[in-house]
């Protein structure tokens, strides 16, 4: 069975770099200097069909934002197995200038078709969160719970609360059980080796455009779960995006 694995190859400089696939934000990163890398797209692909990709580059400060000549984007298809096997370059694309309030920004949008060997429940099947009573209070309580179990290093509860996300990623990225469990185990190992929850973070519930997903961020736009190791001077961020399942009417991390 074919296992398509899609990557976004990119090169960006001095901007806030935002990537959405199928209207779900999968990356929101402040890039101070230059950065060239690859970003997996599969964790935003829930089923076969047309896959939409949107990239936004925002200036880090008010004023003129000049796009660097080296800025580039390309979607590449691989076949997943014991190793990734290159299949083809799907398309390269460039952003266009867009006036965005006080900040200048650039946007690029494209799409491609894919046949996936899985179909997973997506955020589109969740509840519209803006219709929920006492939503702010419920979000505050949920974040407080997550914060508490990270501070107390309750690894079983962390794995439980992230189970939907990790199960989805295992399917989307074709991970076996050992590979899937290793994702959180790596964070747990870091927490045992000196990384602590950063209690100074102010968590802001940020509604994604679809209204069915909330992403907890700090005021600078980075994930609100931040682990720090003062001795090493290193940081680890953990994405915390939630939806509400219609059948359970409870928040789930996706």
What are 166-189's pLDDT values in tens digits?
999 999 999 999 999 999 999 999
Predicted pLDDT of residue 33: 84
> Do 94 and 26 reside in the same domain of the chain?
yes
> Do 154 and 243 reside in the same domain of the chain?
yes
Candidates 228, 251, 250; CA nearest to 241 is: 251
> Do 240 and 132 reside in the same domain of the chain?
yes
Secondary structure (3-state) at 78: strand
Predicted pLDDT of residue 146: 97
Candidates 169, 187, 132; CA nearest to 253 is: 169
> Do 175 and 225 reside in the same domain of the chain?
yes
Domain stops at, among 88, 114, 140: 114
The pLDDT of 110-123, averaged and rounded, is 93
Question: For every residue of 80-98, which 3-state class applies, written as one string?
Answer: ECCCEEEEEEEEEECCEEE
Predicted pLDDT of residue 2: 87
Predicted pLDDT of residue 165: 94
CA 178 to chain centre: 22
Predicted pLDDT of residue 101: 58
pLDDT beyond 90 at 210: no
Range of weakest confidence among 39-48, 90-99, 127-136, 177-186: 90-99
> Do 219 and 127 reside in the same domain of the chain?
yes
Question: For every residue of 113-157, which 3-state class applies, written as one string?
Answer: EECCCCCCCCHHHCCCHHHCCCHHHHHHHHHHHHHHHHHCCCHHH
pLDDT digits (tens, 9 = 90+) for 11-45: 999 898 999 999 888 888 888 888 999 999 998 99
Predicted pLDDT of residue 96: 82
> Do 143 and 97 reside in the same domain of the chain?
no
> Do 105 and 149 reside in the same domain of the chain?
no
Predicted pLDDT of residue 26: 87
The pLDDT of 85-102, averaged and rounded, is 81
The top-scoring range by mean pLDDT among 63-72, 86-95, 155-164, 244-253 is 155-164
Predicted pLDDT of residue 208: 79
Domain stops at, among 114, 137, 166: 114
> Do 130 and 108 reside in the same domain of the chain?
no
Which residues share a beta bridge with 84? 80
The pLDDT of 68-82, averaged and rounded, is 91
The top-scoring range by mean pLDDT among 82-96, 118-132, 193-207 is 193-207
- The domain total for the chain is 2
> Do 91 and 156 reside in the same domain of the chain?
no
The top-scoring range by mean pLDDT among 63-67, 104-108, 132-136, 191-195 is 191-195
> Do 133 and 163 reside in the same domain of the chain?
yes
The pLDDT of 155-175, averaged and rounded, is 95
Give the range of the structural domain holding residue 234, as residue numbers without chain letter.
123-253
Secondary structure (3-state) at 186: helix
> Do 151 and 243 reside in the same domain of the chain?
yes
What is the overall mean pLDDT for the chain? 91
> Do 248 and 140 reside in the same domain of the chain?
yes
In the chain, which residue ranges form alpha helices assigned H by DSSP?
135-151, 155-161, 163-172, 177-192
Predicted pLDDT of residue 209: 66
Q: What is the pTM of this model?
A: 0.86
Q: Please, which residues have CB within 8 angstroms of residue 141's CB and are 6 or more apart in sequence?
A: none
pLDDT digits (tens, 9 = 90+) for 140-150: 999 999 999 99
Phi, psi of 223 (to 5 degrees): -55, 145
Domain stops at, among 71, 97, 114: 114
């Amino acid at each position: 069975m074919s296992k398509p694995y899609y990557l976004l190859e990119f090169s960006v400089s001095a901007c806030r770099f935002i990537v959405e696939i199928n209207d779900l934000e999968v990356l929101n990163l402040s890039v101070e200097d230059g950065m060239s890398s690859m970003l997996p797209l599969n964790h935003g692909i829930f089923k076969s069909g047309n896959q939409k990709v949107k990239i936004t580059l925002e200036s880090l400060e008010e004023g003129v934002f000049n796009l660097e000549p080296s800025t580039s984007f390309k979607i590449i298809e691989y076949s997943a197995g014991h190793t990734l096997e290159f299949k083809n370059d799907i398309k390269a694309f460039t952003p266009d200038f867009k006036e965005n309030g006080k900040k200048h920004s650039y946007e690029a949008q494209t799409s491609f078709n894919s046949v996936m060997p899985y179909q997973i429940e997506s955020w589109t099947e969740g509840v519209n969160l803006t219709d929920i009573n006492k939503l702010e209070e419920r979000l505050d309580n949920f974040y407080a719970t997550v914060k508490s179990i990270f501070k107390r290093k309750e690894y079983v509860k962390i794995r439980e609360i992230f189970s939907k996300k990790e199960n989805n990623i295992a399917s989307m990225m074709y991970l076996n059980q050992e590979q899937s469990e290793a994702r959180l185990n790596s964070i747990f190992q870091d927490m045992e080796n000196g990384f602590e929850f950063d209690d100074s973070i102010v968590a802001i519930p940020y509604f994604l455009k679809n209204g069915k997903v909330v992403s907890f961020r700090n005021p600078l736009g980075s994930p609100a779960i931040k682990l720090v190791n003062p001795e090493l001077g290193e940081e680890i961020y953990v994405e915390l995006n939630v939806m509400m399942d219609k059948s359970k009417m409870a928040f789930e991390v996706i």
